[in-house]
């Protein structure tokens, strides 16, 4: 008897019991440094910390292109931007293969809720309800197949509520896969009222590099437009600075205003992680449900004098990654280099499904089980394209090893190299002084890191396409959604009832 026939004889519910449910909670721009399990000095995240205590907290988790839309395309495809066709804020082609299609075909009930920002309708999901483009914090519209719905309230709480409602109304005879994607804490930070009240008068310690003068990194940092000093606008700050403040005092004031709103938005995300975890425990689903938390890109909390993401320095490159559930060892902190290309293969592997050749990442399941494979990657390759973009951030690629980092700004033909063991804040570019660059030790390291980039570009099939902005695919990640009139105001339950995909089962 062939295995496929054998499977068809097992009742669906018996099969469901064998395979774990998976909930992937994603947030937008949530810095690892703003999670207490990661040692935050500025806030506490008790609910995200529950995942660390009861499961795995990855200590070297990176993104391959630190920006929203490309990261989401990588999440779905397990591929770098140059292969999945989304190097910048362009539209994802929904006819491409994605992880949800595999899970759905493999017997999972699949759902996508919240921020999508890929410009095309979601495919591969039994039910989806997503924000148009960036979405709004207050009284947001949501898209379901063919319609736009308006829901009253704060987006973070609504997204959490939609998640619980989706779980309540799912078919009980199938394992499920739910992507629950928060808009928060994306700029221009508008917290819910309860957390705004909690954070409005707080003050936070400043990072060591808030007043970075960029003197050893002249290639791209001085011209960037994501600085706290110059680039936060009146919509970010929402208040006029006190009269007479200037220079460093004004930067300090802006930093505090920024952090108050940003961290209040993070707290809303944490509250809603708690809402989902509590529901899973109360309903008994926790026993067979894996919950994974991550963010779409790194983020600067004043380090290098910056907010935003993009640059390959540590705060931009690192993302939180935590997971708890059946089969995952409690309290482990895997230190292997993992990246967002690994998420799609991980979902499939956890579901007992094969990982297609097209995916470039590797399943994290062995690491979640407490194993440490000898042949795990020791370096990570990064490539950012969006130049000048919204923040005049020069395009670059690079490699991070366990001890060093090499960054290359190709339009400027400029390299930066850092020793992360001696200089974790990346303040000293070892190539800026000719004398140091020519020293045998530094020159040898530079040669080795350049060779490693070449090796990684070959391994990941990056031949430099999209390096020239004229080759970027057309179509915006923000549309086309404006042509649908929103419904009258809906409740979360009414909205979920509209979310079923009548599509082709793709």
- Concatenated DSSP letters of 92-157: P-TTS--HHHHHHHTT-EEEEEEE--SSS---S-SEEEEESTT--SBS-EEEETTEEEEE-SBHHH
Residue 28 or residue 49: which is nearer to Ca ion going by CB?
Answer: 28
Residue 136 or residue 412: which is nearer to Ca ion going by CB?
Answer: 136
Contact region with Ca ion (CB under 5 A), list: 19-27, 281-289, 294-302, 320-328: 294-302
User: Is residue 68 near Ca ion by the rule CB under 5 A?
Assistant: yes
User: Is residue 276 near Ca ion by the rule CB under 5 A?
Assistant: no
Alpha carbon 185 to chain centroid distance? 11
Contact region with Ca ion (CB under 5 A), list: 60-68, 72-80, 249-257, 351-359: 60-68
Using DSSP's 3-state secondary structure scheme, residue 389 falls into: helix
Nearest distance in Å: CB 261, Ca ion: 16
Nearest distance in Å: CB 75, Ca ion: 11
Alpha carbon 390 to chain centroid distance? 19
Task: Find out whether 180 and 226 touch, Cβ atoms under 8 Å.
Answer: no
Nearest residue to 302 (alpha-carbon basis) of 42, 37, 69, 17: 42
CA-based torsion, 422, 423, 428, 430: positive or negative = positive
Residue 149 or residue 321: which is nearer to Ca ion going by CB?
Answer: 321
Nearest distance in Å: CB 208, Ca ion: 25
Nearest distance in Å: CB 488, Ca ion: 31
Nearest distance in Å: CB 417, Ca ion: 27
Question: What is the DSSP pairing of strand 176-181 with strand 21-27?
Answer: parallel
**Nearest residue (beta carbon) to Ca ion:** 68
Residue 43 or residue 69: which is nearer to Ca ion going by CB?
Answer: 69
Nearest distance in Å: CB 294, Ca ion: 11
Residue 29 or residue 452: which is nearer to Ca ion going by CB?
Answer: 29
User: Is residue 32 near Ca ion by the rule CB under 5 A?
Assistant: no
Contact region with Ca ion (CB under 5 A), list: 238-246, 289-297, 366-374, 441-449: 289-297
Nearest distance in Å: CB 28, Ca ion: 4
**Those residues with Cβ within 8 angstroms of residue 142's Cβ, 6 or more apart along the chain or in another chain:** 129, 130, 131, 132, 148, 149, 150, 151, 162, 495
Q: In the Cβ-directed half-sphere of 461, how many Cα atoms lie within 13 Å?
A: 10
Q: How many residues bind Ca ion (CB under 5 A)?
A: 5
What are the structure tokens assigned to 188, written together? 């221009």
Nearest distance in Å: CB 451, Ca ion: 32
User: Is residue 28 near Ca ion by the rule CB under 5 A?
Assistant: yes
Residue 364 or residue 477: which is nearer to Ca ion going by CB?
Answer: 477
Residue 29 or residue 49: which is nearer to Ca ion going by CB?
Answer: 29
Contact region with Ca ion (CB under 5 A), list: 247-255, 288-296, 483-491, 492-500: 288-296
Rounded Cα distance, 324 and 52, in Å: 7
Residue 88 or residue 445: which is nearer to Ca ion going by CB?
Answer: 88
Question: What is the DSSP pairing of strand 404-409 with strand 396-400?
Answer: antiparallel
User: Is residue 360 near Ca ion by the rule CB under 5 A?
Assistant: no
Nearest distance in Å: CB 165, Ca ion: 25
Contact region with Ca ion (CB under 5 A), list: 285-293, 295-303, 343-351, 430-438: 295-303
| Residue 148: strand pairing partners | 143, 486
**Interface mask toward Ca ion for 297-336; x: CB under 5 A:** x---------------------------------------
With residues binned 3-state (H G I as helix, E B as strand, rest as coil), the percentages for the chain, rounded to 5, are 35, 15, 50
Nearest residue to 360 (alpha-carbon basis) of 9, 28, 27, 82: 82
Using DSSP's 3-state secondary structure scheme, residue 199 falls into: helix
Residue 183 or residue 404: which is nearer to Ca ion going by CB?
Answer: 183
What are the structure tokens assigned to 141, written together? 């519209």
User: Is residue 296 near Ca ion by the rule CB under 5 A?
Assistant: yes
Q: Return the residue of 26, 29, 63, 449 that touches Ca ion, per CB under 5 A.
A: 29
Task: Find out whether 297 and 68 touch, Cβ atoms under 8 Å.
Answer: yes
Using DSSP's 3-state secondary structure scheme, residue 204 falls into: coil
Residues in touch with Ca ion (CB under 5 A): 28-29, 68, 296-297
């Amino acid at each position: 008897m062939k295995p496929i026939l054998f499977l068809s004889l097992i009742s669906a519910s018996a099969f469901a019991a064998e395979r774990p449910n998976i909930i992937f909670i994603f947030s937008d721009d949530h810095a690892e440094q703003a999670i207490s399990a990661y040692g935050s000095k500025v806030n506490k995240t008790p609910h995200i910390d529950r995942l660390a205590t009861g499961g795995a907290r990855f200590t070297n988790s990176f993104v391959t292109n630190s920006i929203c839309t490309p990261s989401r395309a990588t999440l779905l495809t397990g591929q770098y931007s140059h292969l999945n066709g989304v190097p910048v804020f362009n539209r994802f082609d929904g006819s491409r293969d994605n992880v949800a299609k595999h899970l759905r075909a493999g017997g999972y009930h699949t759902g996508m809720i919240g921020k999508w920002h890929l410009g095309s309708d979601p495919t591969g999901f039994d039910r989806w309800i997503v924000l148009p483009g960036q979405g709004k914090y207050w009284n947001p519209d949501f898209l379901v197949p063919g319609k736009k719905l308006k829901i009253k309230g704060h987006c973070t709480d609504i997204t959490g509520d939609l998640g619980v409602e989706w779980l309540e109304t799912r078919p009980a005879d199938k394992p499920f896969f739910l992507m629950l994607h928060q808009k928060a804490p994306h700029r221009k930070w508008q917290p819910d009222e309860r957390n705004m009240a909690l954070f409005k008068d707080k003050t936070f310690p400043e990072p060591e590099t808030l007043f970075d003068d960029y003197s050893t990194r002249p290639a791209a940092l001085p011209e960037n437009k994501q600085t706290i000093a110059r680039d936060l606008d009146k919509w970010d700050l929402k208040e006029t600075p006190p009269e007479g403040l200037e220079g460093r005092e004004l930067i300090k004031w802006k930093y505090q205003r920024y952090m108050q709103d940003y961290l209040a938005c993070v707290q809303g995300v944490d509250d809603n992680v708690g809402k989902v975890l509590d529901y899973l425990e109360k309903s008994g689903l926790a026993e067979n449900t894996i919950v994974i938390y991550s963010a779409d890109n790194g983020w600067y909390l004043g380090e290098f004098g910056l907010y935003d993401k993009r640059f390959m320095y540590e705060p931009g490159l690192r993302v939180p990654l935590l997971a708890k559930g059946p089969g995952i060892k409690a309290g482990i902190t895997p230190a292997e280099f993992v990246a967002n290309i690994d998420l799609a293969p991980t979902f499939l592997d956890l579901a007992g499904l094969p990982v297609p050749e097209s995916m470039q990442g590797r399943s994290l399941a062995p690491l979640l089980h407490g194993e440490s494979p000898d042949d795990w990657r020791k370096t990570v390759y990064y490539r950012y394209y969006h130049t000048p973009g919204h923040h005049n951030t020069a395009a670059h690629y690079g490699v991070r090893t366990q001890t060093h980092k090499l960054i290359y700004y190709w339009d400027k033909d400029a390299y930066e190299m850092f020793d992360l063991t001696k200089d974790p804040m990346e303040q000293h570019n070892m190539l800026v002084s000719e004398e140091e660059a020519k020293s045998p030790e530094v020159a040898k390291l530079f040669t080795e890191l350049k060779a490693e980039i070449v090796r990684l570009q070959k391994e990941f099939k990056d031949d430099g396409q999209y390096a020239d902005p004229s080759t970027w695919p057309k179509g915006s990640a923000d549309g086309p959604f404006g042509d649908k009139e929103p419904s009258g105001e809906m409740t979360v339950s009414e909205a979920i009832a509209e979310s079923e995909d009548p599509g082709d089962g793709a």
